[in-house]
Structure 1
Amino acid sequence: MTVRIEENPSHPHLPTLLTAYHLVNQAEKGAAVATAAELPPGYRAEAEDPGGAFAADTVLLATPPGADEPAGCVVLKAPEDGRAPEIKRLWVAPGARRKGLARALMAEALRRAAAAGAPAVRLTVWNWREEPLALYRSLGFGAVESWDDRLDLLCLEKRLDVIERLTPGAVRAHAPAGLAALLVDAVDGGASVGFPAPLDAAGAADWWTGVAEEAERGVRDVWAARGPDGRLTGVVTLVRAGAANGRHRGEIARLLVHSSARGRGLGQRLLATAEAHAAATGLTLLVLDTQTGSPAERLYRGAGWTAAGTIPDFATDPTGVLRATTLYYKKV
């Protein structure tokens, strides 16, 4: 079971979440009030009519596994005056904390900002809020020059990795360096992705050259993430079934995030990008396999994939030890 994220600025439970956020915020600032009606006008408008207050923005809600009602929310503000979009009103009800809701909300907000072409996302946070600060820093946010001069308010920004679909020519061009480096890094890190260790760059480049040929034939689609410095930080591919009776099906393969770019939700964004393209192009079922017990299993389960079964001794890891694999599927 996973956290469910939805966009709904008119959800009937949203006013309750925003009211709780603002009441706590006012108390922390030393200006406590007891009800939404006592909030400052701007905050009261958000709590009483979120749909109107955030009409131009993206409002996301998170529902914990097994629950019926959302227990968390976040707002991704629309960009203004050429500035990066801003994340506001991240809140998780106390009883639903430690269940991954805040991280899931942030990951989806970042994914949407990147999909819209934003080069960065910014936010503000009071310096006494240690847990949110730790979350933001773990996601790659860093302090920048302040755009808000309120005392004790920190201004943070995260430069976004941009995900783009690679043409066959682009795959071929990136094969010797960026794409090869991603594959070598994965093998060096112990990932079971079809190669024994050590994998040299030339061998990795040859494999990607083959992928470029598959892309030319329409067999495989490729997306890569590019960091703010221009380097490739991740990749995912979607392989289409060749059999006539399986053309509704695709396989997610080679989801790789460079070790230097992990922990920022990039794997989730790459996976969501491939899933969205699969659905948009008529596929209804996706499958994949991954080494049993690997960190990737948490990613897939968190993204709503279902384990279909485990095969023992399926393949060797980079050191040559036979490992089990778990098969997953997802209907899109």
Structure 2
Amino acid sequence: MPAVHHLSPEPGTVHGQFDRSLPPVLEIDPGDTVIFRTLDGSWGENGERLFGLPGFAPRPKPWIGHALCGPVRVRGAHPGNVLEVEINTVRPGSWGWTAAGPREQRLRRGLNAGREVLIGWRLDTAAGLARDAHGLGLTLPLRPFMGVLGNAPAAPGPHETRHPRRVGGNLDCRELVPGSRLRLPVEVDGALFSVGDGHAVQGDGELASTALECPMDEVSLTFRLLPGPAPARPQASTPAGEIFLGLGQGLDEAVQDAADQAVDFLARRLGIGTPEAIVVAGLAVQLRVTQVANGTVGAHALITPDVLVHLG
């Protein structure tokens, strides 16, 4: 019978980089479910600053990147396999924050706020709403998802958590909500999967360079192994439809990457040539900006369920 495991952030289970040499903190079988709790993107510092909450200790000095829970080793996972991560539940904590600032200070590609801005939010998960904690009168509907879901790369590390990669990482795709199945290439034995960077809500593009960053009280993920060949990039089946995530140093490159994957999918599914699949893609594929905030830019191609039904 598949097992259910629990993993919470504490010294020894939280790290700030992807690295194939990190020892796994949990080993599971395919089919098992892991229920995580995760820290926010500031390792608890903004919870202390805005709400007087205790932060995570000991904190890495200097911080290396996002606070990731893991790595989780999946028995039987080998390079060339595909790790399917089914997202069952994503439940935020009671608070969060959003920041923006001068572009030259933030080293990001988001909009230039001209000055540092930090807004705290109270999260009402029962009502499904976020309300600002500063009397600004701001209210937003919650749509929680995890920003970072990824396997360890084969290349020796450490690797920054800020960049999305072929094996996943800081994807920041708002469509990866509960009900989604994310497919990630495996490059090292065991996959060595980690998760973090909880977002209570984010728009496509992550234009301010942060989402509504928050700790997560419950992130339930079920892990399965699929035979190869592995996709060139992360792909997902989501409530919004089939998603093909493209990555690049600029938006043109990321869009081309996502579009190429969608065309390949259509050609295989319909049994037609690439030129004909391009014609279908022009009618059936929606291109969206995933994020422009992470150094490596992301775009995704979306094929919605109604289109997939008619395509057969």
Scaled by the length of structure 2, the TM-score of the pair is 0.26
Looking at secondary structure, tell me which structure has more strand per residue: 2
Q: Larger relative contact order (C-alpha < 8 A, sep ≥ 6)? A: 2
Looking at secondary structure, tell me which structure has more helix per residue: 1
